[in-house]
Amino acid sequence: MNYWLIKSEPDVFGIEHLQRHHETVWDGVRNYQARNYLQSARVGDVMFFYHSNIDPIGIAGLCKVVEGNVVDPSQFDPKSKYFDPKSSRAAPRWWTVRVQFVEKFAQVITLEALRQHFTPDDLVVLRKGNRLSVMPVGEDAALRLLAMER
DNA sequence: GCCAACGTTGGC
DNA sequence: GCCAACGTTGGC
């Protein structure tokens, strides 16, 4: 099993939205490296749900992959902001996963707390200039994160 | 294939 | 609102 961190702006879609909807297709990722990570995610993988552009910034909960290799439907929808005219149903560009809500943390693990306990080598999200919206989390870091939230 | 211009992300 | 970082676009 692998661990990941996925970023979202909670004003658009936060952990509470996922809690309410129970499951969602993680659509709208339009960066090739992030897409490649999503393509390598497998059913059962755990994803840390990170809130950006909000106070407090940080990891707000957990979800898990319940379906892999999902074609992102928004790439075909001309009304979607994620529409990609260069993609086609015969040869889709953008793939993702379906995730299921697992847990909303009682307290967000803040960016400040992450910086106190981890180095940028431990956690990609702490690396300067990092803008990936999907990134792997090593098992050591993942287990330490899971221990932190209780 | 290079690279300047441009747009977006995201912390502050 | 600012701005550093960085991915993408498009002219050449």
- pLDDT, tens digit (0-9, with 9 covering 90-100), for A14-37: 999 999 999 999 999 999 999 999
Long-range contacts of A140-146 (CB under 8 A, 24+ apart): A141/A3, A142/A3, A142/A46, A142/A48, A144/A117, A144/A118, A145/A48, A145/A59, A145/A109
pLDDT tens, residue by residue, A118-128 = 999 999 999 99
Bases of chain B within 7 A of a CB of the protein: 8-12
Q: Are A62 and A102 in contact (CB under 8 A)?
A: yes
Question: Would you state the pLDDT for residue A57?
Answer: 96
Rounded CA–C1' distance between A122 and B9, in angstroms? 22
Question: Would you state the pLDDT for residue A79?
Answer: 87
Rounded CA–C1' distance between A66 and C2, in angstroms? 40
Residue at A22: amino acid letter: H
Measured CA to C1', the nucleotide nearest A32 is: C7
A85 CB closer than 7 A to any strand C atom: no
pTM: predicted TM-score of the whole model, two decimal places = 0.94
Taking the domains of chain A in order of start, what are their residue ranges?
3-149
A3-149 CATH choice from 3.30.2320.50, 1.10.10.60, 3.40.50.2300, 3.10.590.10? 3.10.590.10
A77 to A80, A81, A86, A133: CA distances (angstroms) = 5, 8, 12, 21
Rounded CA–C1' distance between A15 and B6, in angstroms? 33
All residue ranges of chain A with pLDDT < 50 are none
- For A150, the token pair is 């209780």
Question: Would you state the pLDDT for residue A85?
Answer: 87
Residue at A78: amino acid letter: P
The alpha carbons of chain A give a radius of gyration, in whole angstroms, of: 15
